[in-house]
């Protein structure tokens, strides 16, 4: 069974613009897997959008540099396999090149699919606002985002005077996106997906 809201009644002869919010997380990988296996057609255009706060990464890199410096002074100069390996490219490098890995994975699964990887640097605290601005500018038909359900997110979805107080990016996009938006939760490796839209919640889809 196909989620009709996600497909928007499209067929293989119609070209659509589909955007996936790309992050180095399991939730984002699940959203991309859902799109490739249930939504996208080879004549569609797939956008992988990553919104990055450069100030955040400057602070993160500075922190790791300090940790590496402390480790260097603590360990003997001749030791191998010290803590530098734990500080190095695993976190920083992974966040720098993960977007290209996602793009390559899409092209491997669907070689004829047109994939565009976009990285936007923004100082804005509201990542959701930046994403929605991009969907409007690129005239996106369908926006897909990975979603992590937690007690904190449920609490943060409380409303005040009809407005969202604060919530995760997925909830913000579901509430404010002008194009069709689907938030995806993966239920185990073979358990399927829980899909959410602004008007439909917890729609179950088998993998």
Same domain, 128 and 193: yes
Same domain, 70 and 143: no
What is the arithmetic mean of pLDDT over 44-51?
Answer: 96
Q: Residue 184 in contact with residue 38, Cβ under 8 Å?
A: no
DSSP secondary structure string for all residues of 183-207: EEEE-TTTS-EEEE-SS--SEEE--
Instruction: Tell me what pLDDT residue 100 has.
Output: 93
Instruction: Tell me what pLDDT residue 122 has.
Output: 82
Looking at per-residue confidence, does 125 or 114 come out higher?
Answer: 114
Same domain, 156 and 71: no
> What's the CATH code of the domain at 129?
3.40.50.620
d(CA 38, CA 32): 10
pTM of the complete model beyond 0.75: no
Per residue in 146-195, pLDDT (tens digit) is 998 654 444 444 443 343 334 588 999 999 999 999 999 988 766 789 99
6 domain-assigned: no
Same domain, 49 and 111: yes
Same domain, 155 and 120: yes
Per residue in 79-111, pLDDT (tens digit) is 444 433 333 333 334 445 899 999 999 999 999
**Domain range for 143:** 13-53+98-205
Same domain, 70 and 122: no
Instruction: Tell me what pLDDT residue 67 has.
Output: 52
Per residue in 57-82, pLDDT (tens digit) is 444 445 445 555 555 444 444 444 44
| 123 CB-near residues (< 8 Å, 6+ apart) | 53, 54, 55
Confidence of residue 53 (pLDDT cuts 50, 70, 90): confident
Instruction: Tell me what pLDDT residue 31 has.
Output: 95
Q: Residue 37 in contact with residue 20, Cβ under 8 Å?
A: no
């Amino acid at each position: 069974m196909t989620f009709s809201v996600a497909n928007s009644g499209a067929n293989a002869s119609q070209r659509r613009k589909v955007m996936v919010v790309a992050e180095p997380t399991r939730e984002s990988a699940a959203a991309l897997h859902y799109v490739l296996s249930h939504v996208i057609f080879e004549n569609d255009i797939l956008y992988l959008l990553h919104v990055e706060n450069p100030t955040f990464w400057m602070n993160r890199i500075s922190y790791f540099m300090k940790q590496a410096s402390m480790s260097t002074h603590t360990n003997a100069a001749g030791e191998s396999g010290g803590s530098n390996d734990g500080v190095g490219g695993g976190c920083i490098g992974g966040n720098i090149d993960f977007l290209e890995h996602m793009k390559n994975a899409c092209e491997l699964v669907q070689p004829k699919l047109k994939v565009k990887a976009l990285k936007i640097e923004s100082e804005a605290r509201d990542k959701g606002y930046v994403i929605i601005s991009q969907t409007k500018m690129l005239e996106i038909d369908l926006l897909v985002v990975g979603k992590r359900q937690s007690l904190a997110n449920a609490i943060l979805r409380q409303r005040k005077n009809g407005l969202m107080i604060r919530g995760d990016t997925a909830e913000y996009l579901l509430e404010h996106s002008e194009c069709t938006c689907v938030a995806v939760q993966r239920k185990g490796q073979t358990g399927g997906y829980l899909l959410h839209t602004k008007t439909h919640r917890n729609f179950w889809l088998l993998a």
